[in-house]
Amino acid sequence: MSDARLGVAFLGLHPERRGELVRRHGGPSGLMRAVRRGQIEGIAPDAAGSPARREAALRDAGARVVYLGAPEYPELLAVIADPPDVLFVRGSLPPAPMVAVVGTRRSTAYGRSLARAFGRAVAEAGWALCSGLARGIDGEAHRGALEAGGATVGVLGCGSDVVYPREHLRLIAEVEGAGAVVTEYPPGTPPHGWRFPPRNRIISGLSRAVVVVEAAATGGALVTAARAAEQGREVFAVPGDVDRESSLGCNLLIRDGAIPVLGAADLIEALALVIGPVARRTSADPVIPVTGLAMEELADRLGLSGPSLLAWLGRAELGGAVRIEGSRVFPGRV
């Protein structure tokens, strides 16, 4: 059965057509028999290749197959209405909750800066950043997460061995190293435009919440937001000038019920209500007694001072790990 499922995936069809054909032919095995017999219009009998060719393609691409129902398959993605039957994965899918930060390729400098700050804040909160590895907002969100040393997942609209856009060669490698590059399309699949709207359901399906930074009235970011709403995910959007094209989509989302966010701190506070307490505390963090610690003693225990100490305190207080009263620090709600 798994070989038939992989064969169907290697056909590289639009997910809706693939699903319709699988249902019509009684499952993956029935569809593959029909393909081999030349019974499917527009699909050559050898379109999926042989099992040996498929294995070679996976090996050359450095990708592994994760089937729907397997332990590694992302739990949130598995319960959407139309989960991919097969994922091609490079890297390792992080166990932390994911937050999607998405937006237009035609972004402004302001939007790119904000996306980077959001990516950094999400990573510092202990969550994984999910986006589409596209130019503009997506790329900057990934870069922010990487700068913070966090996990990030990129969802492609092409094969995992296809570098698109070309200038993201290094970024794609860095995302793979810090998390995973994921696609439902087999190795060698080109980035045709029709492949990207379906991939957006994977971005939202992997994530607990979707944040739209900049978006025109139409485009992929709004598709992701729409799929997120269908999947029961919380949608956040950054408001902008009413006459700016790159803000129109976000303003419309807010009009229709998306939660407005006004900056990184505001975003993390709002996300914590959706996802739960910020997971900032690690085994290296000090245990703060109920009687609290003086700032100087906490600084000594952390080995931090100046801006580094203030940054740690800000993140810990924002996440609820500590509360600050005067010059003393007390344990928070986490």
Structural domains for the chain? 1-49 (no CATH), 98-275 (3.40.50.450), 293-331 (no CATH)
pLDDT of the chain, 334 residues: tens digit per residue: 468 999 999 999 999 999 999 999 999 999 999 999 998 989 999 999 999 999 999 999 999 999 999 999 999 999 999 999 999 999 999 988 999 999 999 999 999 999 999 999 999 888 999 999 999 999 999 999 999 999 999 999 999 999 999 999 999 999 999 999 999 999 999 999 999 999 999 999 999 999 999 999 888 899 999 999 999 999 999 998 888 888 999 999 999 999 999 999 889 888 988 887 665 544 345 667 777 888 888 887 776 666 557 767 776 777 677 888 888 888 875 4
Place of tokens 């701190």: 265
In this prediction, residue 3 carries a pLDDT of 85
In this prediction, residue 307 carries a pLDDT of 58
In this prediction, residue 283 carries a pLDDT of 39
Give the sign of the dihedral formed by CA 152, CA 155, CA 156, CA 159: positive
> In 3D, which of 154, 9, 152, 21 has the Cα closest to residue 68?
9
> In 3D, which of 229, 28, 233, 214 has the Cα closest to residue 134?
214
In this prediction, residue 279 carries a pLDDT of 54
In this prediction, residue 323 carries a pLDDT of 85
| H/E element, 318 | helix 306-318
Task: Tell me how far apart the alpha carbons of residues 286 and 165 are, in angstroms, rounded to a whole number.
Answer: 43
pTM, rounded to two decimals: 0.81
Task: Tell me how far apart the alpha carbons of residues 153 and 207 are, in angstroms, rounded to a whole number.
Answer: 10
